[in-house]
């Protein structure tokens, strides 16, 4: 094993949204999530022109790195490289893990969508994915048609030995169930980023508290330098 990657800390994975977070509110909203304890942030923007995405992603790199938290770019590993982000999240149609790794380097964090499939997860792991994302688990306003998964898939995926992310309709009310089933990170859009910065910060604190209460490794792996 090489150096431990920063995603070995369990916790909230905050994902941005263009509707909930217009350009002028993007950075303050993410800073609020970071104050509340988010351990990973993803810039997810499927609609804005390239120049806007470049500017916003660069601003988020600064905000996240000021807080010591990695920034992941959704879909676009070229953009990740350009702005000096820490990694990329790839869906099944978004390109190869190996290609992203070749461009971004060994230390880059590459996450892969596995829906509800252990076979997809095994393939992602053998291609070098750093975390495996399952979901959607609940009703999602952000991506209503994403394939459905049941929490038990997280329990079965524990044996794959990679950090597991749960996504899709996650809220402070249903997050504990997913952590108890095996999630190391809760990836959240709507259940985090609706409302004011104060509300976002408070919600992020509540998610963080869920990990402190329900994640088996939380106290150990949150200590700097500790092994998971």
Ligand X SMILES: Cc1ncc(COP(=O)(O)OP(=O)(O)O)c(N)n1
As annotated, the binding site includes: 42-46, 74-75, 94, 113, 140-143, 169
Question: Smallest distance from the beta carbon of 117 to ligand TZP, in angstroms?
Answer: 13
Give yes or no for a contact between 115 and 133, defined as CB atoms under 8 angstroms apart.
no
* 177 is an interface residue for Mg ion by CB under 5 A: no
Residues whose CB is less than 8 angstroms from the CB of residue 33 and which lie 6 or more positions away in sequence, other chains included = 12, 14, 41, 192, 193, 200, 201, 204
Known binding site for Mg(2+): residues? 75, 94
Two structure tokens written together for 4: 């431990």
Number of other residues whose CB lies within 10 A of the CB of residue 198: 10
Q: For residue 112, give the 3-state DSSP assignment.
A: strand
With CB under 6 A, what is the number of residues at the site for ligand TZP? Answer: 15
Stretch (H or E) spanning 68:
none
Q: For residues 46 and 158, which CB has a smaller minimum distance to Mg ion in the complex?
A: 46
Report how far apart, in Å, the C-alpha atoms of 122 and of each of 74, 126, 158, 166, 191 are: 21, 6, 11, 16, 29
Report how far apart, in Å, the C-alpha atoms of 28 and of each of 115, 171, 172, 190 are: 31, 21, 21, 16
Q: Which does 111 bind (CB under 5 to 8 A by kind): ligand TZP, ligand X, Mg ion, none?
A: ligand X
Interface residues for ligand TZP in 103-142 (CB under 6 A)? 135-136, 140-142
Interface residues for Mg ion in 63-102 (CB under 5 A)? 75, 91, 94
With CB under 5 A, what is the number of residues at the site for Mg ion? Answer: 3
Q: For residues 100 and 220, which CB has a smaller minimum distance to ligand X in the complex?
A: 100
Give yes or no for a contact between 72 and 111, defined as CB atoms under 8 angstroms apart.
yes
**Which residues in this chain contact Mg ion in the complex, by CB under 5 A?**
75, 91, 94
**Which residues in this chain contact ligand X in the complex, by CB under 6 A?**
13, 42, 44, 74-75, 89, 91, 94, 111, 113, 133, 143, 165, 167, 187
**Which residues in this chain contact ligand TZP in the complex, by CB under 6 A?**
135-136, 140-143, 146, 167-170, 188-191
């Amino acid at each position: 094993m090489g150096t431990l990657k920063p995603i070995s800390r369990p916790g909230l994975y905050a994902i941005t949204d263009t509707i909930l977070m217009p350009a002028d509110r993007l950075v303050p909203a993410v800073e609020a999530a970071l104050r509340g304890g988010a351990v990973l942030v993803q810039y997810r923007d499927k609609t804005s022109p390239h120049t806007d995405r470049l500017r916003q992603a660069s601003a988020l790199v600064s905000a996240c790195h000021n807080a010591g938290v990695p920034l992941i770019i959704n879909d676009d590993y070229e953009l990740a490289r350009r702005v000096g982000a820490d990694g990329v999240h790839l869906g099944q149609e978004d390109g190869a893990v190996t290609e992203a790794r070749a461009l971004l380097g060994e230390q880059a964090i590459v996450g892969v969508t596995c829906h509800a499939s252990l076979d997809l997860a095994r393939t992602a792991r053998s291609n070098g994915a750093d975390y495996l994302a399952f979901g959607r688990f609940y009703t999602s306003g952000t991506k209503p048609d994403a394939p459905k998964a049941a929490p038990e898939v997280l329990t079965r995926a524990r044996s794959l030995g990679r950090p597991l992310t749960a996504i899709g309709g996650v809220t402070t009310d249903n997050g504990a169930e997913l952590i108890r089933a095996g999630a190391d990170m809760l990836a959240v859009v709507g259940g985090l980023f609706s409302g004011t910065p104060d509300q976002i910060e408070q919600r992020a604190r509540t998610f963080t508290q869920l990990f402190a209460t329900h994640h088996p490794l939380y106290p150990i792996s949150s200590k700097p330098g500790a092994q998971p």
